[in-house]
Each structure stands twice: as C-alpha cells, then as structure tokens.
Structure 1
C-alpha cells in the first residue's frame, strides 16, 4: 500500500495532493512526516514541497470548487490531526468532480468528516476571539498567551490587526512555540523559542525576554509568514484569563 509523506507544511500537503491527483500513483493515505511510522506493509513515498504545484492546487480548489472548500481545506489542515491530510485528499477527489455542490453531499462519509473537523477548528477560532487576553507589558507592547487545541493563531491575527491597529502586539501559542506579531503595519507568523515558565519574582525578566523576542521577530524578514459557563469557557483556557487568575 502506497503512503505519501510530506513535510508538515500546507504547501507540502498541496504538493502531495497534486502528485496523487495528476500522476498514476494513487496513495492509500497522505501523512505528515510528524506522524508517519515506518512499517513493513506500506510503500512510503516522500513528496518534496513544490511551490508551483501547490499553487496550482490552491487555485484549482478556489476556481473549480469554491472559496468555502478552500476554507474547509485550510481549517482541516490546521487541526493537525493525524488523519487530516487523508480526509482532505478524499474530500478533494470528490470535490474536483462535483464542484461547489460537494458541500451539500453530507451523506458521503468523506465530506461529512471534512465538515466535522472544519467546524471544530472554526468553533475554537470564534471561542478564542473572546478568550484571548492581552497584557500591557512594556511601553505600548501588548502580549497574549494562548494554548488552543488547534493551530489557529493565523486565523486570530487578522481580527486583532483590525481591532488593535494602533498597537504593537504578540499572540503567543505557548504549546507550539509560535507567535503572531503585529508591528502597526502588518502581522506575520514567527517562531518563539523561549519558554514561559517564570515564577512571580521573575516577571520583569520574562517581560524583558518577550520584548527582545518581539524585536528579534520583526527584524528577521525571513521568519515572516503572512500566509501559519464551561461550554463557552472551558477550564483548559482559564490559566490565561485575567479574570480567572487568583490574587
């Protein structure tokens, strides 16, 4: 059985889908190299990212299916679930035949799986828009730590870039070591290597490190990537909420 393995990037996934759709090799599944486990049964084929091929798939989804389909694809990719790449692949095989009508075919298990995962990611995005709390930590620099289930930091950034357009800010995904940074002109994604496990007495040191990280992030252009009760406020989010912190 053939397995396509890619580099965990969105471009890599779209390249794998290109190879699966436009060549004679039809994989049983597509898996990120983060999750792939070698075995004696599967024939692993590693797919190198190709920006030209990924752009072709991106444009094909938008033009031949719909903008909604492209949103579903991206949301499911951001779920980071092991099965997500295969779910996307199976969905697109149907969607390229049916066009925009594919999203009405909810009796099909592949389409239904796509919608279920996409809805979970979208639901968390909207929840986090209301749960993200910024702290003024130095001059006009605002910082917000979050720890979402899904990799949604890039979905949150446009909202806050519009809402806090006159401020410098950083939204830090603590679990993934990633941040969305805004410099009063544009937002971009970057890596944050520091760990935020400081004691109360080390707060000033923590803020200084954040300040340095912020300026380091905005100065390295190569790291920019502008493309990356309990029902409503689950307890796993409480540690980052100002109103839930113990005095």
Structure 2
C-alpha cells in the first residue's frame, strides 16, 4: 500500500493563484481504471483533462467491472503528477474543501471516484467558491461523507483498546466502517509516543505500527484459514488478564444503574464496536458494589437493615 498524501493540518484558506479555465472535455468519454490509491485517482484526474475525455467510470483495477466490449484505460500512478494535481486544487478551493475530498476517498463510498471528479470539475468551472453551494447534490454529498468520516475517526480514537504482549508491544484490532487509519495515525503517535504499538484494521487487512521513532503502514500475509489478528494467550503479557479485569471493574464502579439509558448509550457507542471493547466482554467475576459506606451516626447496621440501639 502506498503512503497516503499528507493532509495539511491547517484548514485556513490559502491565497488562490490565478488559474486558466478548465479545458472542455470534448473527446469521447472513457472508462478509467487505477491502482486503488489516492495518488492513483489524482493521476486519473490529470489524465481526464489532459485527454479531454470525461469519465464514464473510474474504478480500481482489482475490482473493475466493465462491459463485454469495453476496453478501460488504465493509468499507472505518477506521484509527480498526483502532487501537481493536489497542489493545483488550491487554485479552485481552500485547504479545508480539498481535505474533504481526501476524506471522501477514505469513506469507500461506492461512487467516490466519480463524486470527487464531479466536485473538482464543478470547482474548476465556477468563478466562486462552491464549498457552501448546498443547492448542488454533489456538494451536499461530499459534505455529508466528510462528516461521517469525522465521526468515525473520533470514535476510533476513543474506542481503541490495546492488549500488551510479552515483548512489550501494545496491540489493538479495529473494524471501522471507513478507512480511518490514515486519519488517526497522528493522534496515536502523539498520545502513545513512549510505547510500541500496532493498530490493525481487520476489514482492510493492514495496520499502523509505531516503533518509538516513526509510524509505518504494515500488512500481513494470512495463512489459510487463520485470522491474522488473533493473538494467542501465550504471547500476551501475564498481567494482561488483570489489566482487563481492572478496567472492567473501573467501568462497573463509575456506572450509575439508576441513570441507565441503553438507547443513548448505543448511539454514542454503536453495537458494532463492542466486540473489541474490554468493558463489553463477559465478566470473569460477578460485579459486587464496594462495601465502603460508613454507618449512620447513632445507628447500627445489622444484616443490611437499620436498627435503633436499645
């Protein structure tokens, strides 16, 4: 997997340079394929305007579906062209709008490639900023997907639970609806800078590995029938079951049963995340409230009931 293009942290609009009008797409429309990376998609966007041929479809080569007699035009990724397109987008939109396009790509929406093309084409042909042109269906769709990606990113930063192995590696498995690993890398690198960790996306079969100096994208080969994210109990730190028990006990003790609202709880912590949360796993020991309340002055407690002296 290629390294994602770095997204600027600042969302402040950069000054726009003068730009030429976008060329008219007068050639016969084509079907395009690419390698499935964001850089590859940017290369396709450059090709569309270079060839002046609008896309009928833009699909990753590995999963492309074409007609019986259709011959798709495959474009090899050119990182120099991709960087040129990425920088050139700032002539038509601000940095925040450009970032939203990257988030749309990571959303894995079925129509993401054509949606990004239509948004870029609209921006290139508009004299004014289109970011808040919510009368346009594509602008609304881009905004909605970007918001969904933000929520998924926030949940992953909150719901990741690490397990410690015998070799001092902290491992976590996630299975998000969207490809959020590129967006959460900076958060975990900064927050856990003093320990080695691995976050593995089970659905997309790749992960992030931090070795105390840098964070890299890693992939693992799966042996037949094996789950690449399963960790044998023999490789876990011997204290890990205790850590899990302590976390569950903390969760139980801060819980207020009288204020239980399962509907609200599931809205903030969707059910699909529970299988990777320590506090949602079956309890090895039954929860018992801490018996640390002091008797009321002038009274004595017998078998849990209050009785006046004498």
TM-score by length of 1: 0.83
Of 53, 76, 79, 2:81 maps to 53
Which residue of the partner structure matches residue 36 of structure 1?
A: 64
Displacement of 1:149: 0.8
- Asked whether the 8 Å contact 2:197–2:209 carries over to 1, the reply is yes
Which residue of the partner structure matches residue 121 of structure 2?
A: 93
Displacement of 1:22: 2.9
Which residue of the partner structure matches residue 49 of structure 2?
A: 21
Trace 1:170-189 onto structure 2 (pairs within 5 A): 170-189=198-217
1:67 counterpart = 2:95: yes
- Asked whether the 8 Å contact 1:31–1:82 carries over to 2, the reply is no
Of 190, 212, 235, 2:271 maps to 235
CA change 1:51–1:100 in 2 (3 A) is farther
TM-score by length of 2: 0.67
Q: Which moved more, 1:159-168 or 1:30-39?
A: 30-39
In structure 2, how many angstroms separate the alpha carbons of the residues matched to 1:151 and 1:22?
A: 30
What SS does the corresponding residue of 1:101 show, helix, strand or coil? coil
Displacement of 1:4: 1.1
Say what the alpha-carbon RMSD is for the aligned residues: 2.1
In structure 1, how many angstroms separate the alpha carbons of the residues matched to 2:63 and 2:130?
A: 28
Which residue of the partner structure matches residue 244 of structure 1?
A: 280
In structure 2, how many angstroms separate the alpha carbons of the residues matched to 1:183 and 1:156?
A: 16
Residues matched between the structures, number:
224
1:191 counterpart = 2:191: no
Deviations 1:1-41 (A, max 9, x none): 52111110111100001111232212123222243212137
Which residue of the partner structure matches residue 216 of structure 1?
A: none
Which residue of the partner structure matches residue 139 of structure 2?
A: 111
Which residue of the partner structure matches residue 165 of structure 1?
A: 193
- State the structure with more CA Rg: 2
What SS does the corresponding residue of 2:76 show, helix, strand or coil? coil
Deviations 1:162-194 (A, max 9, x none): 111111111111111111111111112111224
5+ residue gaps, structure 1, are 208-228
In structure 1, how many angstroms separate the alpha carbons of the residues matched to 2:221 and 2:267?
A: 32
Whose helix fraction is larger, Structure 1's or Structure 2's?
1
Q: Which moved more, 1:138-147 or 1:103-112?
A: 138-147
